[in-house]
Chain A
Amino acid sequence: MAEPDLLGRRLLFFTGKGGVGKSTVTAATALLAAERGKRVLVVEVDAKGNLTEQFEQGAVGFQPREVYPGVFAMVMRTEDSLKEYLKLNLRVPVLGRLGPLARVLDFVATAAPGVKEILTVGKVCWEVRESIEGRADWDLVVVDAAATGHIIGQLDAPRAIQELVAVGTVRTQTDWMVELLSDPALTALNIVATPEEMPVNETIELVERARAELQVPLGAVFVNRVLPELFTRSDEKTFEALRRPESGAVLTERAGPGATTVLEAARLAVSLRRTRATHLTRLRETVDLPMVYLPYLFVRDAGLRVTRMVAEAMAQELGL
């Protein structure tokens, strides 16, 4: 079970190796919180832009739009974030009027270390702070953040900037961000993994690095796509007996020529689960974070239904 109450925090980041279900878990978390009466902002940072598909909604932009009752989604765009920042902080007239400057700033943002990241994390932190101080009303902000390889750079940006930039407006602004990001009552970085070799490796490495290099508190590991355990040990003996040719003959007689195929499929399922179990064990033995197990869903397609099912499983796991 996840301590201190995951949904009780204000800012949740989700990272993970590509394709493990990061967007699905992020969306499910948002849905779960919304169904418990919270007003949630979901921020998609990963540029793939498929987060709203989890709610079966069309694309959204930088301006949040309600995609599910109580869930508002936005896509991070650093240029927009910069414009907003400049407008709010420096009273600079809308950048459009400065013409090519927007491009130059974008260029700097691409090239200079940490600039893009700070614009991303800064916007997210800002929404949280505004809500805490009563100027915005998000109970919870969840972020479909960068993949494992880039998450440290992203979340560490405020601190990196503090080290690189000695003076200037940005310098003073990073202080409160670092504070917010490192407060375990407010913020958590969660990792989504599947019980497979590479996702588990990346999770283990990330936990180590995050502890060493990052002040952001770690939340939970969401282990997604866990295959069901078909048999107990003694049931398995029965299953083995069923696979003997004599049994096969009886089964074929009763259930038709497909009976042995069905047994073969179950053997495959057992074996797939067993291979994954070794990675799961390794994960559990190496990482001392709360684990939230989410089942592999045997469904035809992705979308709101999958998000709902994952949210339900999550609610059970979290004891909600």
Chain B
Amino acid sequence: MYDFPDSRGHFGPYGGIFVGETLMAAIEELRSVYERYRNDPEFIAEFERDLKHFVGRPSPIYHARRWSDHLGGAQILLKREDLNHTGAHKVNNTIGQAMLARRMGKKRVIAETGAGQHGVATATVAARYGLECVVYMGAEDVKRQAPNVFRMKLLGATVVPVESGSKTLKDAMNEAMRDWVTNVESTFYIIGTVAGPHPYPMIVRDFQSVIGREAKSQMMEAFGRQPDRLVACVGGGSNAIGLFYPYIEDESVRMTGVEAAGDGIATGRHAAPLCAGKPGVLHGNRSYLVQDENGQISDTHSISAGLDYPGVGPEHAWLKDTGRADYAAVTDNEALDAFHALCRFEGIIPALESSHALAHAAKIAPTMDRDKLILVNLSGRGDKDINTVAQLAGIQL
């Protein structure tokens, strides 16, 4: 049986708790609180109620028929996380963590964000529960995801642009950690992906697993069987693990995570730790990292802010090493092509992050028979990205 992580948060050699001593007590507190509530019927019922009435779950599975026909191979099915309230899978997790924060009596929540989707999802639950909310966002991302910055502000959050390092997601995470260590008694850190120190990778996975659980029953209902393949983009890896986790023991389903190859792996300008990095320690856990030979973390590049991160959740590192999942990478241009294809063939504007998963599906579908099924996690909608896409086309909005 697949039973990870172990009690100290390890997925094989990966994961663990790598933080400064000041945070150890807070992490232990979170671990024990989560242990207490994870199987608590009342906690679960509240979580499910919120997913249904506030998020709008279950999210449908949609058969992208016209695009599949055009590609001329396997059928592409989309798990529509883009239809969630706030427009991405991120909210599944922020609801769960905010419920923990409330039970711990924390009045203030903080978050890091790249694309802004996790920031928006955190600001949303904070508004709903009346919690103070501070979101750290790389100054570079503040520029390229301006609509989400404004959404967070509308929701009452304070957005702090982070000017250090590469001014992207990893620097936002550094700054959020610094805030946490300073305000550890009053503050709950809502991490947005399956990264950070244990128990975060497990907590976020568990909350996001609703995606895969729903998919399993929806597939049976609509198609009478499970898909042949799962495809999801991987930044930190939360939407991917949310889809994969309930399928881990179902070995007939191949699972593929798709990283951002940016300008191309060979150029060095990418954000693909699993495909082109090596193991190391960053942001509280051991996993694959994009780093140089001296162990310094490299600047990453992706057109999509949500994938522009040098690390990846430790469970993905383990799934890669054990071969249970495989990982591919697609370039900015390939992702953009898929972005446009989904707009034109299906009337759906996907997030640039999700477009990476779509691009990989578009590559493999033609190599497969027409009766094969590929389930792609459409992790978010692309409204936030229209400025980026317009700019690339030389259009001023």
Q: Please indicate whether A and B come from the same complex rather than being unrelated chains.
A: no
B-binding residues in A (CB < 8 A): none
Using a CB–CB cutoff of 8 Å, the interface residues on chain B facing chain A are: none
